[in-house]
A and B are shown apart, each in its own frame.
Chain A
Amino acid sequence: MFDNVFSDYTLRTVALGSALLGVVSGVIGAFAVLRRQSLLGDAMSHAALPGIVLAFIVTGSKEPLALMIGAALACWIGAMFVASIVRTTRIKSDSALGLILATFFGAGLVLLTWVQKWPTAAQAGLDKYLFGQAATLLERDVIAMAAIGLPALLILALFWKECAILAFDPDFASSIGLPVRLLDVLLTSLLVVAIIIGLQTVGVVLMSAMLVAPAAAARQWTDRLGVMVALSGILGAAAGVAGALLSSSAARLPTGPMIVVCVSMLTFVSLLLAPRRGIVWAWLRNARLAVRNQ
């Protein structure tokens, strides 16, 4: 199965794209999880749908870059709505997220249904953004993903210290004079980048797992931010490659869901077996204590 990665061109492209997605979403998702914004990614990725369809309506092409820009704008507007609903009303963030997620997705659906009734055939395949279709990844798609994903990681590295402080103690961050609002905007923008990279591979519905699961897994193995973020990226990439390979190993195994299952399994294993924090070890410790106390 592994020889295929080197010989099969399509599979190599898909595996590379999935790995790239895994790294970017793992690293950026780690900050989202630490900042208790695990579900923001879910809401924003659903909100991307109208942006994708509108970008297609405006440009008339399915050029990945154009669709990505549309998706990014819609993500951004969705995130802004969530933030301003929470700020100006007594509605809590969970309701604001659900509201934006569902209404934006509904708008996307309206546009998508409308576009699909066009007499031309150019719009065919827009609906693959719902669940992603990694098998259709082309080399230029992977290049587009790298072209926006790698700079995003670089920016995160440049502002590493500031983002770390913001993630753990936003009050402290503002008290030492860090531009908290600006950093918040930066981290949200990075989240947008991770989401639009994932749209073509896992789609808007499953994207949240790619942001949450690697980070939740990595968190179990370490208490250090640097290690956690690196591990999260590695686990994300590993799950991406594993999912791509597994889905190519048998017929009719969709890639996006396979990647999500892989990354979730990694998380469950980590929750159970990670040294010190693992649930199994805690359970054994308790059992031993109980025996000793008898």
Chain B
Amino acid sequence: MEIILIATVTAIACALPGVFLVLRRVAMVSDAITHTVLLGIVLAFFVVRDITSPLLAIAAAATGVATVALIELLHRTERIREDAAIGLVFPFLFSIAVILIARYAGNVHLDVDAVLLGELAFAPLDRYTLWGYDLGPQALWLMSGILALSLLLMILFYKELKLATFDAALATTLGFMPAALHYGLMSVVSLTAVGAFNAVGSVLVVALMVAPPAAAYLLTDRLSRMLALSAVCGALAAILGCAAAFALDTSIAGAMAVVTGLIFSAAWVFAPERGLLAQALRHARQRQDFAQAMLLVHLLHHEATPQAAVECDPAHLNEHLRWDAAFTAHILRRAEQRGLLERQKDLIMLTESGRRLAAQTLGGEG
């Protein structure tokens, strides 16, 4: 039960800053940060020699921000593109961390697999106690604190963040310092990543930061709604992911990542306006509307002419319009239902409204 609670709080804490990562097109920076924070933890560990020290988390968050700065520094030299800079920097820093651990910290509890993959199942074991009272798992306190902090910052700087995200140039002109906001956001992302990867592992942090916002992005056009939906998707993924992992007795982090992917897929297919299904329906409707317009114009063109008997005969229409028979029948039925044409003996005739629509299609006044 506590696991689900930790997972949910973590998911929401990741999903909120993730919205801005997705909108600002820097989602892959989260991938870089979640890997390089390991280096910060290792270096801080060598200094303080205490794996439980809070200094480790601070150093890790600082490394995350430093990673962003390094990527930007490389990108600014204009000798290397941003995506290449990301792909270069994080494996390098991560490799250094892995080497340091393998060489000098092999006997300490600093396990690369655990960092990368996370072990949420053990999270409730580290608990805070105060005067003998059990205050609950550390991870829960930590993630709740981070969530509260990032919520507070987001509420305080909502307007600034919104403007800097959608119109960086205007934000600069108005004196909002987008660079400062950018690094502020990156600090929040780093801090969240550090807090979260303790519990869920770095790859899941990427899933939680990218997938729920991406799903929300397909569902709404408003930033405030996107934030809310993203948090809901994250929480849903946490709950369903935990349930699935318990049922199948497998990795919780992995299961949550898979569920975020499934939620995104559902949004991708079923989103009301932007989903694949909606796109296909719209496409089919447009195709039928166009075919109907063709039909009406054809009828208008030939009505009351000597050829009308042939051209307006439903049995031969498909040949004239070069459609297959089923499609022709469907379009005829559709137009008839809408009162655009009517059958008279063997012929089809335009109704008044059908004639008006055909003339409109041709560009007349109707």
Task: Give chain A's interface residues, CB within 8 Å of chain B.
Answer: 33, 36-39, 41-42, 46, 85, 88-92, 94-99, 101-114, 117, 127, 130-131, 205-206, 208-209, 211-213, 215-216, 219-220, 250, 252-254, 256-258, 260-261, 264, 267, 271, 277, 279
Q: Which of B57-65, B73-81, B159-167, B355-363 contacts A (4 or more CB under 8 A)?
A: B73-81
A260 lies within 8 A of B253 (CB):
no
Q: Which of B99-113 contact A (CB under 8 A)?
A: 99, 102-103, 106, 112-113
Interface of B is mostly: helix
B286 within 8 A of A: no
Q: Is the CB of B274 within 8 A of A260?
A: no
Residues of A within 8 A of B329 (CB): none
Most buried by A among B83, B84, B92, B106: B84
Chain B CB within 10 Å — which of A90, A103, A250 has the most? Answer: A103
Q: Is B250 part of the binding interface, using a Cβ–Cβ cutoff of 8 Å? A: yes
Residues of B within 8 A of A98 (CB): 27-28, 30-31, 206, 209-210
Using known A-B contacts A107-B257, A110-B255, determine if residue A252 contacts B98 with beta carbons closer than 8 Å: no
Q: Mark B232-258, 1 if CB is under 8 A from A, else 0.
A: 000000000000010011110111111
B84 A33 Cβ-Cβ under 8 A: yes
Size category, B interface: 35 or more
Q: Are B79 and A271 in contact (CB under 8 A)?
A: yes
Q: Which residues of A contact B213 (CB under 8 A)?
A: 95
- Pick the most buried of B35, B209, B255, B258: most chain A CB atoms within 10 A of its CB: B258
| Chain B residues close to A by CB (< 8 Å) | 21-22, 25-28, 30-31, 35, 74, 77, 79-81, 83-84, 86-88, 91-92, 94-96, 98-99, 102-103, 106, 112-113, 116-117, 203-204, 206-207, 209-211, 213-214, 217-218, 245, 248-251, 253-258, 260-261, 264, 268, 274, 276, 279
Q: Are B210 and A102 in contact (CB under 8 A)?
A: yes
CB distance from B204 to the nearest CB of A (A): 6
Cα(A261)–Cα(B203), bound, Å = 21
In the assembled complex, the CB of B7 is this many whole angstroms from the nearest CB of chain A, namely 13
Contacts of A39 in B (CB 8 A): 28, 83, 86-87
The answer to whether B79 and A277 have CB atoms under 8 Å apart is: yes
Is the pair B87, A42 in contact by a Cβ cutoff of 8 Å? yes
CB distance from A209 to the nearest CB of B (A): 3
Establish whether residues B88 and A264, one from each chain, have CB atoms under 8 Å apart when the complex forms. yes
B253 to chain A, nearest CB (A): 7
